[in-house]
Structure formats: C-alpha cells, structure tokens
Structure 1
Amino acid sequence: MKARNLLLVIGTAMLLSCQSEKKLDNPEVLEKVLISYFDGIKNKDLDKMNAVTSEDFVLFEDGKIWNNDSLYNFLNSLPPYSATFSLSPLKISIDDKIGNLYYINHMDMILNDTIEDNYDWIESATFKKVDGEWKIDFLHSTVKE
C-alpha cells in the first residue's frame, strides 16, 4: 500500500513537472503598439492608427465616444499642427491573450507654426491579440488636473 501511494505521488509530481510553463509576452510590445498609435495621430495617418487597433476599437475622451474614423476627421479639422507625445510612467500588465496599461500622456503642440500649447491626460489602454498580433481595443483618456 505504501509503495502504491509512493508511486502515485511520484507519478503526479512527474506529470506536473513536465507541463510547460506558459510564456508571457514582453510588456514592451504593448508600449511599442501604443507609441505607434500616437505616431499615427501625430502624422494624421489613419492607416497606421488602424494597423495597431482592433476592428471594434473605441476611444473614450472628453465625454465623447470615438473610433479611428471620427478621431481622424477631428484631426483633419484642426489647423496645421505638430505634436510630440511623452508617455510615462507606464504600468503594464500582460498575459498571453490580453494586456493593459495606464500612464500619463503629455503632449507638446504647435498650431499654425506659432501657437505653442501642452496638455496632460491620465490614460489607460486595453489590448488583445488579433491573429497573433497585439492590438489596442480600448483607450480611455481624462484631462489631468
């Protein structure tokens, strides 16, 4: 009886030790996707924005619900501008299927080559894998006071 129990314990331990550990993606991948999205905003590049977001992407900002098309149309209604985004500090959580992060977004902007302004937002983003690639599926932005 003791030998049988010992074999059962050893067998169970061997099976558990043989299971492969789930490898998590590198959190920096999400940061790169997010930076690419803001590069799309900075350059008014709808294709780039769409490339890093899911088809059901939603942005909550300033009490409005946006998608890439509505944001792109808004950006095109602005006078000529240049913008620089700084994202910090990034807090990232990721597993093999979903990820999220939150951060402070600081933007320096120049409108019409003369008017300088800057903005700060508290933001969070969620990500999901679509066909093996990380995509932003939700972004929430609130003006920082």
Structure 2
Amino acid sequence: MKLLSVIILLTAVAFSPLYGQSKTDEQNVKQVINGFFQALSDEDIPSLRSYCRTDFTLLESGEIWSLDTLEAKIKPYFGQGARRINKIDFKKIVIKGTSAWVVYFNQADMELNARKGTINWLESAVLTKNEGQWKLTLLHSTTLPKKK
C-alpha cells in the first residue's frame, strides 16, 4: 500500500509541470484573443499586430483579409469617438504542441455618435506558438442574426 502511494505521489509530481504548462498555455491563448479585440477597441494597430503572425488571415463576411486589409477596413473609423466593449465567451480550447484552436462567442457592445448597438459573432481561431509566444494565425468570424 505504501509503495502504491509513493508511486502515485511520484507520478503526480512528475506530471505536474505538464499540467501547469497546459493551463498556462490555455490562459495565454485566451489572453491573445482578448488582447487582440482590446487593441481593436483601443484603436491600437501596433498592439493589434503584435497578437498576430505576419501571415495572419481573417475570414470576415465571406472575404479573405490580411492584416493590411483589416487595418485598411478599420482605420477610417478611428478617432470618431467610437466605444467598443468586448465580451468573449470561450467554448472550446484545444492545444496540441505548438498549435491551438479555439471556439468562442464574441459580443461587442458599441457606441458611436450616441447610437448604441450590439453585434454577436461565433468565431474560431487558430494560434501557433513560436519562441514561447502564442500568435493568431487564422480567425474565422460569422456574424450571428440579431435576437428578436
């Protein structure tokens, strides 16, 4: 019985770094996604880009966008006093080595010129880890119909 207890304890100690790393990776993946949308809200292009690989691809409304396309699409709205508050509801995170894929609901409460609205998306993201850093590789965004 003592031997079994020692084996269980040693196994738990041996594998605890792997468990901790997985949790840290999951937290870091969430932070990248949250940070990306916060940078979008803050109108902070350098920060937005820092969360993405240079070959980042966004699938948005049936179109394929690069980081340059995304920047060109959002920049005209900067400086107009818009407010955007993001709510990310993570549904699934799968991490396999240096790759991760994520499924989440994204809700943005927005305000511009005293007009308020909410937009909801179902999104999936693929991230890759390079030199200890998770970066967005692919983001697929599907706008959900307005609730009646």
**Smaller-chain TM-score range?**
0.7 to 0.9
- CA displacement at 1:132 relative to structure 2: 1.9
For 1:97, the equivalent position in structure 2 comes to: 98
Question: Does 2:81 correspond to 1:80?
Answer: yes
- CA displacement at 1:120 relative to structure 2: 0.3
For 1:25, the equivalent position in structure 2 comes to: 22
CA deviation string 1:92-137 (max 9, x = no partner):
111321111101100000012x010110000000010122211110
The TM-score with structure 2 as length reference comes to: 0.78
Aligned partners of 1:66, 1:40: CA distance in 2, in Å? 18
Letter in 1 for 2:117: D
Say which is worse superposed, 91-100 or 74-83, in terms of deviation.
74-83
SS class of match (2:64) = strand
The TM-score with structure 1 as length reference comes to: 0.79
Letter in 1 for 2:121: W
More helix by share: 2
CA deviation string 1:38-57 (max 9, x = no partner):
01111111111111111110
Q: How many residues align?
A: 126
For 2:67, the equivalent position in structure 1 comes to: 68
Question: Does 2:137 correspond to 1:140?
Answer: no
Q: Which has the larger radius of gyration?
A: 1
SS class of match (1:31) = helix
Contact 1:54 / 1:130 at 8 angstroms: preserved in 2?
Answer: no
Aligned partners of 1:104, 1:89: CA distance in 2, in Å? 7
Structure 1's consecutive aligned runs of 4 or more residues displaced over 3 angstroms after TM superposition are none
SS class of match (1:35) = helix
Letter in 1 for 2:38: D
Aligned partners of 2:84, 2:124: CA distance in 1, in Å? 20
Aligned partners of 1:140, 1:96: CA distance in 2, in Å? 21
Letter in 2 for 1:59: L
- CA displacement at 1:89 relative to structure 2: 3.5
How many percent identity over aligned positions? 26
Supply the RMSD in Å over aligned alpha carbons.
Answer: 1.8
Contact 1:25 / 1:96 at 8 angstroms: preserved in 2?
Answer: no
Structure 1 unaligned runs (5+)?
1-16
Structure 2 unaligned runs (5+)?
1-10
SS class of match (1:136) = strand
User: 1:123-134 maps to which residues of 2 (within 5 A)?
Assistant: 123-134=123-134
Distance 1:138-1:81 versus aligned 2 partners, 3 A rule:
same
Contact 1:33 / 1:52 at 8 angstroms: preserved in 2?
Answer: yes
